[in-house]
Structure 1
Amino acid sequence: MIKFVIPLKPVPAVRMTQKSMYANKYAKRYLQYKKQVAWIAKASMKTNPIDGDVGVKLTHYAHGNRADIDNLFKGVTDALNKVVYNDDRQVKHMESSIIKCGKEEERTEVEVYRLEAVKQ
């Protein structure tokens, strides 16, 4: 299991075109967030990206955030591509929650685990 904390305000994924990714302020913010998340994840990795099916559990601590939970999930899992796992198509189980908190406590707690390690 890989566990780490993203000590940043959760940022949802946004729809964008090739043109808008350079002009839209939300797209720019999202792309910068993904880059930061990838670096944080890379620093937490002790091995190569996981092969096979994985589960991902995210706990988002957000202050006044009205983002859709699925967009918050996508923002993190896209950033973990080629870092924690080879492709987000490997994610076969997902769990995500949003907990309200103070502005200074905003973060996302991440757990990624191999599914074959979970006995059902």
Structure 2
Amino acid sequence: MTLEQFKQELQRVLSLVATSQRFLEEGKVVELGSLETRIADLCTNAKTLSPEDREKAAPFLVALKSDLDQLEEGMRSEHASLQRQLKGLNNSSQAVNAYSQAARNR
């Protein structure tokens, strides 16, 4: 694999990460399976580069890691938000059940 081919593949992965980030922000489902596969392939292909080309590719991989860190932080934040919402729903459900039970016992 040439450095140019690697950069093109990396650009596609960066685009997929950006799309995933946008989906997350829009509350849509983010498909991580395809992203994971693409990143694994990219890492495998990075190993085939010459040492000189790997050095040239390093800043691009750092940018990918930064984008992935951002996506991870967004997913953690979304997960925490969903947990809070579910806890609120659970509390509401418990209150409704308690009121229903009290009403039946009258």
**TM-score, normalization by structure 1:** 0.26
Q: Which structure shows the higher helix fraction? A: 2
Q: Which has the higher contact order (CA 8 A, sep 6+)?
A: 1
Instruction: Indicate the structure (1 or 2) with the bigger Cα radius of gyration.
Output: 2
Question: Which one has the bigger strand percentage?
Answer: 1
What TM-score, normalized to structure 2? Answer: 0.29
